Amino acid sequence: MRRLLLLTVFVGGGVVPARAHSPVAGVGEFYNGMLHPLLVPAQLVTLLALGLVIGQHAPKSSNMAMPAFIVTLVAALAVPTPPVSEIALLYLALACGLVAVLAFDTGATGPAAFAVAIAAIIGNTVNADISPEQSPWLIRAGSALGATLVIIFFGGFTALLKNRWNGIVVRVLGSWVAAVALMIIALSLSPGA
């Protein structure tokens, strides 16, 4: 019993407080901000879904959606608001995935509306994840750049694929994104979650 107590004290002495999205050690706050959209599953799935919707009808959709996304994200990062659940991002990912699967032509305003809603929630969740000992403006700037680069990459990749095989690849990717979002939503609503 004495050894167990000693082992508990020894192992427990190195315990540090848990954080929802721990930073990657040694890369700095700006780069941790850039990695934030890639390390938070809800944000990554949602950004992929938005990229599919923007790229599927590029360039008319990207001309309005990209500026709307960037302006809204910067505004949401600059003005901290009460935290919003990341489950809202997954509902938007599900909607974007279904739009991509069904190849709805939502015009230029549909992707822009999705971009505004997603950017507002991502900005809100990034602000909620910043701890007091971190430099908030470095993390915010990195997050804005990282999320924008993810959208540009996925949107550009989708624009390249939209004419291949009659857009089947984009529709398959949209179905996968919708399925992943639906599975995460279902798991979050389960009684043990």
**Are the C-beta atoms of 64 and 112 separated by less than 8 Å?**
yes
pLDDT, tens digit, 9 for 90 and up, residues 51-77: 999 999 888 888 999 999 999 999 999
- Residue 124 pLDDT greater than 60, yes or no: yes
- pTM, two decimal places: 0.83
- Rounded distance, CA 180 to CA 46, Å? 10
Residue 87 is assigned to a structural domain of this protein = yes
Residue 14 is assigned to a structural domain of this protein = no
Residue 36 is assigned to a structural domain of this protein = yes
Residue 84 is assigned to a structural domain of this protein = yes
Domain ranges, residue 94: 29-189
Residue 9 is assigned to a structural domain of this protein = no
- Rounded distance, CA 70 to CA 123, Å? 10
Return the pLDDT at 126. 87
Mean pLDDT, the chain, as a whole number? 85
Return the pLDDT at 1. 52
pLDDT band at residue 115 using 50, 70 and 90 as cut-offs: very high
Of residues 160 and 166, more confidence is placed in 160
Return the pLDDT at 23. 65
Number of domains in the chain: 1
